[in-house]
Amino acid sequence: MRLCFLVEEQYRHDGMPLEVIHQLRAWGHRVDVLWPGRSLIRISEAVQAGSHDAWVLKTVSGGPGLTLLEAAASVGLTTVNDVRAIRGVRDKALAAVIARGKGLPVPVTYAAARPEEFAEIAEAEFPLVVKPADGSSGRAVRLVATPDRLLEPGGPAGPDGSAGGLLIAQPYVPNSGTDLKVYSVAGELYATERCSPLHPAHAVRERQVPLTPEVARITAEIGAVFGLDLYGVDILLGPDGPVVVDINDFPSFRQVPDAVARVSAAVLDLARNGARGRDAFATGQAGATAAPPSPFTASSVPRPTRPAASIGGGR
């Protein structure tokens, strides 16, 4: 197969996706790599119908790679994930509306262009978690205890007081200081614990953990709602149950056993069969009635030998 990976500067030395690219090449597939952040791209020639079996994006939110991926989709090329699904989760304000509209456990979300606007929120809803709507990798995430601390140094506002883009705020969910990151690799689910960016002093050993049935159900529903195949979900275990606080397309898949082989094989399967988001959006359902993705089945690809995390186990 012939694949094209769009890799932005932040990930030029990252194992995801570079090790996946090496693995696919080792299996005999042709992989072209475009670097949107540091090279001239002859876009009229690079993006042509039939040029590749699929395009794969590893980019920061708001990076130029997403435009190139959309260009590939516009001429009928398969994208991993489906480009409309990526747009749906890259904008955290949009993602919150879509998720809550489908009954997923997402906090009440407020949006504003300037942090001081959040002072209109009732003080009883503080502390708030404030972050850029287009943020990634925990960038500029703040825990704001009271309205009078919205403009303290270190926040997301620029020199003129503006955020340089939309901000979102959500009431803080009391938790142990441990985030649960759940990964989906074309339908197979894996979970890890890690330290919350809001509680950096809390010592947490990053490790794979079992999934409860409730968390597994929520994670699978997110894939169906957004039309995603390769994704990660950040979940907090709050006093009223699991709460979804972030969704990421093509994450790091850290602590997933045999991650490179699993993700590489999933990319091949999606390139052959198409990402599920394409059919979901084409029917106007955006995952509301989308069938679950098929596990990757490439007979020529070595299958991982270690099992997925137990979906029925407790924490």
For residue 298, the model assigns a pLDDT of 29
Two tokens, residue 173: 């969910």
Average pLDDT over the chain reads 83
Rounded Cα–Cα distance for residues 26 and 239 (Å): 47
Q: What percent of the chain shows pLDDT beyond 90? A: 61
Rounded Cα–Cα distance for residues 2 and 256 (Å): 26
For residue 287, the model assigns a pLDDT of 38
Burial class (CB in 10 A: 0-12, 13-18, 19+), 267: buried
Q: Is the pLDDT of residue 192 over 90?
A: yes
For residue 292, the model assigns a pLDDT of 36
Rounded Cα–Cα distance for residues 45 and 254 (Å): 35
Confidence of residue 299 (pLDDT cuts 50, 70, 90): very low
Query: pLDDT for 286-296, tens place per residue?
Result: 433 333 333 32
Q: Is the pLDDT of residue 141 over 70?
A: yes
Query: pLDDT for 229-272, tens place per residue?
Result: 999 999 999 999 999 999 999 999 999 999 999 999 999 999 99
Q: Is the pLDDT of residue 36 over 70?
A: yes
For residue 135, the model assigns a pLDDT of 79
Query: pLDDT for 107-116, tens place per residue?
Result: 999 999 999 9
Which residues are within 8 A (CB) of 123 and not within 5 positions of it... i.e. 6 or more apart?
Answer: 146, 147
